[in-house]
A = this chain, B = another copy of it.
């Protein structure tokens, strides 16, 4: 008990607030998108952007990622750990994935600077994960 009021969870990990979670997500280039596809759990690394409280990414027709927006509920995990010390943080965004069709919205997302995934072929389209829950934890000591 060191007297300050940083919230911790039952494991003693520091709980990150929403704003802090979004800042952390903006600071990394790759997240891991999880969804259920034909009864299988799929987890894929994806380049992402942050738009308000939502996470956005680009994909192409026929890819596994396309199924994410058909799957409905998805989870998007982000983290960064120091291999030497084991210290780091993780954030989990849960929500519903949906394709972006609005031209103005697409133009705005194009300005986010999200890297195209290797091997991605045109036409690319944008998918928005409308965040329903955002939770984050930080390991500040072992």
Contact = CB atoms under 8 A, between A and B. Distances in A.
Interface in A1-36: 9-13, 28-30, 32, 34-36
Given A13-B119, A115-B86, A119-B12, A41 B32 contact: no
Contact of A43 (B75, B121, B139): B75
Pick the most buried of A41, A76, A81: most chain B CB atoms within 10 A of its CB.
Answer: A41
A119 to B, nearest CB: 3
Interface residues of A, number: 44
Contacts of A41: 34-36, 73-75, 94
Q: How many copies make up the complex?
A: 2
A92 interface: yes
A75 B42 contact: yes
Nearest to A62: B10
Interface of A: 9-13, 28-30, 32, 34-36, 40-45, 47, 62-63, 73-77, 79, 81, 83, 86-88, 90, 92, 94, 115, 117-121, 139, 141-142
